[in-house]
Chain A
């Protein structure tokens, strides 16, 4: 069976301890043999380097293209409409310039990720070879294993030889462990960066001939109006892919209706939200009804009603950012963190659902108190659906948490139909498990699929407290966490790996209280 880079790292850390504590020749031989049995870091640095250089060449071409398109955009373009859905030509050229710049950035970033990986892998393989040589030398010094009676007594000369061999083996296994750590970290960093760049090559995700290249370009380029456009795109990579697939499957009559809806939309944001509704799995009839409710609304209205989360903080910023609808937080009412984070996650991926919560059945009830009531009702509906616990007396019965199976059930019932994946819980038994699952989380969120996580802590009396949150974004080595306390926070990968997500919750979930990420609900495509 092939070992993962994380397994290799973990195994060599254990064997370092075994070698350092080996109290007999036979114990030392067994530990050295086991250390030699761990495979070397896999991968071909030369191939990675070639690939990285090729990406960089492509980046140069894309940069030139971006500069040429930007020049055209700067020259001023007459007000003509292009594409099946009537896009202003000037907007299309500007979007093309941005797409070419993004393409250049993606190739540059991808190339850099591969070259860095190549360098680190090469260094790790060299160090691993040095470590292996020292282990082999130590093993050679010891000869064969002692028989039962020989093993009972060790004279001074034998002890001196064992200690000398142990010292050499200790250096060797530590070199191998360092190499495994370097290779593991490098592989994860490369996977994270490549996944992110792949998700950001957005225009190509919408693989359909049913819309012109200009239409696809504009849809991929459209963001909500507040915050940095890069962190507030309306259509995620997954939305682009699913809406493209949906367009392909429509009957000619439905496709024509969909094109007309897009053609009649007043703003690029309105168009993008119509496509997001299609990506969420709704029929053209349902998209048409939804379209009737949002038609002609300005981008600010669309953002407020259809985007539960607006990211104002740059990933480099620490601190929690409130997420609200007209002053009412997107937060949990009572002990409902599991259903509440699921409700908000669905509203992030499903604009039809978001509007039902913010604007009511007809989309026009803007009263924030009514929004709060609808949000609470929906949180309670999911609490019942997941068979959540209740406590209190008959006159004051209220929700009191949910178990992990209930959480998996409501994730599958409420998120899967709109993202296309099913959810499966994975228990996190420490930092290695979290490090191992990170590339999968990052791939999911880069594509726009939220990942539910649970954190836990222990109070002074040893009582366990659990809380549910949702990973909803990724940028570089930062993860964006939605907490159903109504906030979003950027945290580092290292904070996630350590299990201390108190920055996204409160100090009671810090390492001092044994703060720990104990479960991740990862998608199974």
Chain B
């Protein structure tokens, strides 16, 4: 298995507590990419926090279908970036997807991870990888898969199941 992008490795090592829903930003609990099953109380605000190192062209998007609107309210996406100064290729970043739990029930949140600038919106779910080695007219490569592990260098959906008590 390929080494995870550095920002993720660093976050996993140095910020485990921040990523496991213990809360940090004052706007509710934060959950990392390993927390795919989340339970919150109605009325809670919470955040999905994902590694988005701009040096690695990493970006995340809320994908279709969006979570059930009567269970979760999506409040928007935020981003924090660290520059690299005079160095070329250095940097780090994190993106945050903010939600409010409205009423008891279950909702599915799909985030599309786009590493290496491999996709540019949450609606590219059916797009095959463009590749010179794919024979024109022949079978194309798979659409983006659903991730079961940590973010790597290929685009994938991260599917979170959110239970609201």
Contacts and interface: CB of A to CB of B under 8 A. Distances in A.
B86 A464 contact: yes
A396 B53 CA distance: 16
Contacts of A148: none
Q: Most A CB atoms within 10 A — which of B5, B6, B53, B85?
A: B6
A92 to B, nearest CB: 28
Interface string B3-32: 101100110011000000000000000000
Contacts of B1: 369
Interface in A314-337: 319-324, 328-329, 331-337
A507 interface: yes
Nearest to A396: B13
B60 to A, nearest CB: 12
A227 interface: yes
B56 A402 contact: no
Interface string B84-114: 1111111100000000000000000000000
B81 A461 contact: yes
A322 B88 contact: no
Interface in A65-97: none
A486 B116 contact: yes
Contacts of A311: 132
A487 B117 contact: yes
A487 B131 CA distance: 9
Nearest to A454: B88
B149 interface: no
A251 interface: no
A313 B133 CA distance: 11
Nearest to A505: B117
Given A485-B115, A485-B117, 10 more contacts: A312-B131, A320-B117, A322-B132, A331-B116, A335-B55, A369-B1, A396-B13, A464-B84, A466-B88, A487-B118
Interface of B: 1-3, 5-6, 9-10, 13-14, 53-57, 59, 81-91, 115-118, 120, 129-134, 153-154
Pairs A-B, 5 closest by C-beta atoms: A463-B83, A401-B90, A312-B132, A401-B87, A485-B116
Interface of A: 226-227, 304, 310-313, 319-324, 328-329, 331-338, 369, 372, 376, 389, 391-393, 395-396, 398-404, 407, 454, 458-461, 463-468, 483, 485-487, 505-508
